[in-house]
């Protein structure tokens, strides 16, 4: 097969295995493959596995052709792919990402439910990064056009800006997301979450992903939003994050490690037709 497609709560990725497909993943090719009209359509490409000694690594590629440091949903999807294709036999293993190592635990015999240790969160500005003096970016005022918002920024291996609001919606995410993503305060751009605290164990988010746009669900965004809500004193250490695509369970340990648990669904396998192979510069 040329590709394998999965989704995690509606956040869909294409897995391209370098041992089975030699497509050149240039920026233009990534954009074409991910395009929902001219290609297969997805929120990104997971390129792997790649092996370095005993380590398994993957590249996470956004639909605009850029590379993401980390993706919680992408990691769960890639873990199911490894399990489905018998690359791993144990239900616990580690993966290397651009945003650091993550520990994975398969929770059932079909790898439909997966738990990931996403590492530790930081709110320190130069570790996210956020411009200006070194500080924790917690409950700061961010000016967007003629509006002001209180924001908390964090990194879980990739950068996030969480904006608490009394109500959140797709329309607000579409309006604010691209403006916050490219705000001059964020030198590497940033993922954006609009956050509504429902109660001490539940939050609701709408997501604008850097390099991808509006997204139905995101594992790293869920971790960041939960961590920000906890940092602000609004929620407990164990909570459920509700997004348009479904629910993710988050546990924030006292040592700062964030555990994310959620589902994965296999969608399809397929081959590139000769026309697309030609456009991608592949041998037909």
Sign of the CA dihedral running 209, 211, 213, 219: negative
Residues 272 and 248 in one domain: no
Residues 54 and 175 in one domain: no
Residues 227 and 274 in one domain: no
Residues 150 and 248 in one domain: yes
Residues 270 and 250 in one domain: no
pTM over 0.85: yes
Tally of domains within the chain: 2
pLDDT at 282: 86
Instruction: Considering only the C-alpha atoms of the chain, give the largest distance between any 2 of them, rounded to a whole number of Å.
Output: 57
pLDDT at 178: 97
pLDDT at 88: 95
Q: Domain for residue 160, yes or no?
A: yes
pLDDT in tens, 189-226: 999 999 999 999 999 999 999 999 999 999 999 999 99
- CATH number where 155 lies: 3.10.310.10
Closest listed residue to residue 118, CA positions, set 158, 159, 156: 156
Q: Domain for residue 120, yes or no?
A: no
CB 248 within 8 A of CB 60: no
* The two structure tokens encoding residue 27: 């920026």
Residues 161 and 207 in one domain: yes
pLDDT at 11: 95
Residues 100 and 189 in one domain: no
CA–CA distance, 93 with 104 (Å, rounded to integer): 5
Residues 181 and 205 in one domain: yes
Number of H helices, E strands in the chain: 5, 18
Q: Domain for residue 86, yes or no?
A: yes
Residues 8 and 106 in one domain: yes
**Residue ranges, the chain, pLDDT below 50:** none
Sign of the CA dihedral running 226, 70, 120, 253: positive
pLDDT at 256: 83
Q: Domain for residue 32, yes or no?
A: yes
Residues 253 and 270 in one domain: no
Range of the domain at 89: 3-112+265-279
Residues 155 and 82 in one domain: no
Q: Domain for residue 236, yes or no?
A: yes
Residues 195 and 84 in one domain: no
pLDDT at 48: 97
């Amino acid at each position: 097969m040329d590709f394998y497609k999965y989704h995690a709560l509606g956040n869909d990725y294409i897995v391209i295995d370098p041992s089975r497909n030699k497509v050149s993943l240039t920026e233009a090719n990534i954009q074409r493959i991910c395009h929902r009209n001219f290609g297969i359509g997805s929120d990104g490409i997971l390129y792997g596995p790649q092996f370095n000694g005993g380590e398994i690594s993957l590249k996470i590629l956004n639909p605009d052709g850029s590379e993401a440091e980390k993706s919680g949903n992408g990691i769960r999807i890639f873990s199911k792919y490894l399990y489905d294709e018998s690359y791993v036999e144990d239900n616990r293993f580690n993966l290397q990402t651009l945003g650091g190592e993550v520990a994975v635990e398969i929770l059932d015999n079909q790898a439909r439910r997966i738990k990931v240790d996403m590492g530790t969160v930081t709110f320190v500005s130069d570790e996210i990064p956020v411009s200006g003096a070194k500080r924790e970016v917690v409950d700061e005022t961010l000016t967007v056009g003629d509006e002001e918002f209180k924001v908390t920024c964090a990194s879980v291996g990739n950068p996030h800006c969480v904006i608490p609001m009394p109500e959140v919606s797709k329309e607000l995410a579409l309006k604010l997301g691209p403006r916050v993503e490219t705000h001059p305060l964020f030198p590497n751009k940033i993922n954006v979450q609009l956050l509504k605290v429902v109660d001490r164990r539940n939050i609701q988010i709408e997501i604008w992903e850097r390099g991808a746009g509006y997204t139905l669900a995101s594992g790293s965004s869920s971790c960041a939003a939960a961590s920000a809500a906890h940092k602000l004193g609004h929620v407990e250490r164990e909570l459920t994050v509700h997004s348009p695509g479904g629910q993710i369970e988050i546990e924030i340990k006292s040592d700062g490690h964030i555990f994310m648990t959620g589902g994965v669904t296999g969608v399809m396998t397929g081959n590139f037709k000769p026309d697309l192979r030609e456009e991608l510069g592949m041998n037909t």
